[in-house]
Structure 1
């Protein structure tokens, strides 16, 4: 299917010497697009199919149809610090959520984790997302609409630390500065043995969380993920100098009676 005006394209620019860079463009015939291999005009991309290439003097541009991962990384708007797929993919896997489940989320932010949760539970399940900021909710709605998940998300503008009305959740996710202040309020609404996954950026928050967990929960795991990419050079395969280090801590709790 030919690429048309307004469509998104992921471009992998390769100089054939082992250096690659990614670019995410919305194609417009009137625009010029800059890459480290040189500039290319929008009209040169229009009419080509995804999966085709454009040869430049310094290398090759691969035209790729963006995946949801690509859109999350390069296209969605963000107003706050977000949870990227490096962490959100593990968080949802750790929770064991699946299609049809009813899930609670506190701290919707820009909606990045919400999208990852929705991938697992929608369309038959529901995500009940709480946030207290209008600006965050508006950005999250736009991002969820772009990802085609808005229909199975119920957004509440309410402080979860004051309690929630829903019950019978299969899992809960807390991305907030003081998750320990929400645990007692949500306990009765979550099924026994269900996972509660918490994401916090600092050690101090973990220490405070540990000091405030009572006999309603047990800690199953505390972890963090480090991502190191490799440079795809046939003659000199080696780790990239770019490493995505600490982004946050992931704490898995299980609900007790």
Structure 2
């Protein structure tokens, strides 16, 4: 049941809109109008004229609703990152930097607890605002500051993900705060950064992988089934590895 105050995903043809249901509210697209009074109290997934109204998924909240002042980690990357990190309901996850909170939202939905660090106060506040606006992140601890300067006990985290310009200064500390064999991931925008990271990973981490994810939609008309004219191609390089331990530990 759709209630007043709910966030909804409204589809009109190939267009998508995220709106909050308020009495007296409406959405106008081309020459058609959807009055929210027609939607409140109706079942989820209702079709009214050319409009379809759904309960939004996390992907919809991130892409259509999150305010951003940084480049977000796209869902095509974020959900694969969570898969590669092996996150479960009992996982304690480390992330830095937070940015606008897109990846943090995904990690939060899957993990037991997330600790996320951001050095830029403006981004920190934006991430907190994005999460609270949609009722997300109750299991997230937001830290304003540099992870490199934070006091963190050893072997505290089950996995970690790093999205900062230069991750090299953090490698030794990451090794200390991760549990044995814990997965670790990085997002890097340029090939040169990947090369520099690969040079430094081997002493502390193994099982290294580098990849990118391409995402292509297809037209949904049966008589014109073919790829869309545009696609989300390269957004960043993803690097994954695992903590290794000396045999004489």
Aligned partners of 2:151, 2:241: CA distance in 1, in Å? Answer: 19
Name whichever structure is richer in strand by fraction. Answer: 1
2:165 aligned with 1:177 = yes
Deviations 1:85-110 (A, max 9, x none): 11000001011111111111110111
Measured at CA, do residues 38 and 117 of structure 1 come closer, stay the same or move farther in structure 2, by a change above 3 Å? same
1:162 corresponds in structure 2 to: 149
2:80 aligned with 1:93 = no
Measured at CA, do residues 185 and 2 of structure 1 come closer, stay the same or move farther in structure 2, by a change above 3 Å? closer
Are the aligned partners of 1:164 and 1:186 in contact in 2 as well (CA < 8 Å)?
Answer: no
| Aligned residue runs from structure 1 range 1-257, under 5 A | 1-4=1-4, 6-14=5-13, 20-36=14-30, 38-55=32-49, 60-121=50-111, 125-162=112-149, 164-168=151-155, 169-257=157-245
Deviations 1:2-25 (A, max 9, x none): 442x432211213xxxxx222222
Report SS of the residue matched to 1:247. Answer: coil
**How much does 1:44 deviate?**
4.3
Q: Which moved more, 1:97-106 or 1:40-49?
A: 40-49
Q: TM-score, normalised by structure 2?
A: 0.89
Are the aligned partners of 1:68 and 1:147 in contact in 2 as well (CA < 8 Å)?
Answer: no
Measured at CA, do residues 164 and 36 of structure 1 come closer, stay the same or move farther in structure 2, by a change above 3 Å? farther
Report SS of the residue matched to 1:239. Answer: coil
Gaps of 5+ in 2: none
Report SS of the residue matched to 2:68. Answer: coil
Gaps of 5+ in 1: 15-19
- State the aligned residue count: 244
Are the aligned partners of 1:199 and 1:249 in contact in 2 as well (CA < 8 Å)?
Answer: yes
Measured at CA, do residues 111 and 30 of structure 1 come closer, stay the same or move farther in structure 2, by a change above 3 Å? same
Q: TM-score, normalised by structure 1?
A: 0.86
**How much does 1:255 deviate?**
0.9
**How much does 1:220 deviate?**
2.2
**How much does 1:211 deviate?**
2.8
